[in-house]
Amino acid sequence: MTQLRRIGRSELTTPPLILGGNVFGWTADLATSFAVLDAFVAGGGRMIDTADVYSAWAPGHAGGESETVIGQWLRQRGRREDVMITTKVGMLPIDGVKGLSPAHIARAAEARLPYTPIAYLEAHIEQGPVLEAEGLALGTVTGIAAQLRYEVQVEGQAGHAGTTAMPLRRDALAGAAEMIAAIEEIARAAASDVVATVGRIEARPGAANVIPGAVRFTIDVRSGAEGRRDAAAAGILAAIGAIAGRRGLAARWEEINNLPASPCAEPLMALMDSAIASTGQRPFRLVSGAGHDAMVMAALCPVAMLFIRCEKGISHNPAENVEVADVAAGFAAMMAFIDSLGDTL
């Protein structure tokens, strides 16, 4: 930060720092959070977060307990000039989105700022158990995994649970169960960073005394390398087709999401390794299986990510927890990273 300030605002062609809204989450100590945000903006920082911006100024929106800290700060301070909306292809000053209607917000996708950010740095809990298993508080993220998602429809024949003999059944749910077991086995057999998940399943007609005639489920396949991801997905779809054929079922699938891998910038990873070492911790690199804001920002500038250990790797769950000491170490690493980034300019 010192080196960035030393350059002088007049010599910069881009805001020195950009802060994403979900860094703050919820806290009862709004005064402290507001003071941090005030200092951040006073130092030349900018904030980006469509949801926070919209919650603060959307017509007819009254805020509420669920409103984020940044949303509340925007509502009370009214600092529209300090906020930007970000999309996959560009960023737009909030004053360029008149009325903040969804239609106007979509215009951000057509806009680019007249400058390119120096870099984007994001800190996040790991949302996984690797750092905890390694006994480490911090890790350098190498990139965000490629993601591929399908919706699968399996069709059989509904029938009475008591009168249809087992050899004569075309049970869509039993077939789907075998398919799901095959999905897990294929991902395990890859013996790599490939993961595959069936996160949603629906059987119809859904009566206790009726053989399911139709099942719909989703498949989520991820890997740090698109080739490994695609090979696993091909094996999974082949297995689904073979199981359906053997059981007299019909199976079809639709690709509903396909995101490429998003690597972090190698020079920034090296700076992050050094920043982590400066806190007394052993540098360690790992890939992110979850998606992050950095995926979007990578289209605009080089990105870096810092992972912070979370208890048992739990996230998206009320049991999610991170130690204050680990957060403090993460903050120290971020500051060291920013100082070293200033030295490279």
pLDDT tens sequence for the chain (345 residues):
333 333 333 333 444 445 554 444 444 466 776 776 777 677 666 555 544 443 433 334 444 444 556 666 766 766 555 555 444 444 444 444 444 444 554 555 455 555 667 888 999 999 999 999 999 999 999 999 999 999 999 999 999 999 999 999 999 999 999 999 999 999 999 988 899 999 999 999 999 999 999 999 999 999 988 999 999 999 999 999 999 999 999 999 999 989 888 899 999 999 999 999 999 999 999 989 888 888 878 877 889 999 999 999 888 777 888 999 999 999 999 999 988 887 765
264 within some domain: no
Range of the domain at 90: 17-117
pLDDT digits (tens, 9 = 90+) for 144-190: 999 999 999 999 999 999 999 999 999 999 999 999 999 999 999 99
- The C-alpha atoms of residue 231 and residue 152 are separated, in whole angstroms, by 18
299 within some domain: no
Q: Which of 240, 259, 278 is the last residue of a domain?
A: 259
* Tokens encoding 27: 């806290």
Considering the domain architecture, whether residues 158 and 100 belong to the same structural domain is answered as: no
**Helix/strand/coil for 216:** strand
Q: Which of 220, 238, 259 is the last residue of a domain?
A: 259
Considering the domain architecture, whether residues 150 and 251 belong to the same structural domain is answered as: yes
Number of domains making up the chain:
2
Half-sphere exposure of 31 (CA within 13 A, CB side): 0
- The C-alpha atoms of residue 155 and residue 253 are separated, in whole angstroms, by 12
77 within some domain: yes
What kind and span of H or E run contains 287?
Answer: strand 285-288
Q: pLDDT above 90 covers what percent of the chain?
A: 50
- pTM equals 0.67
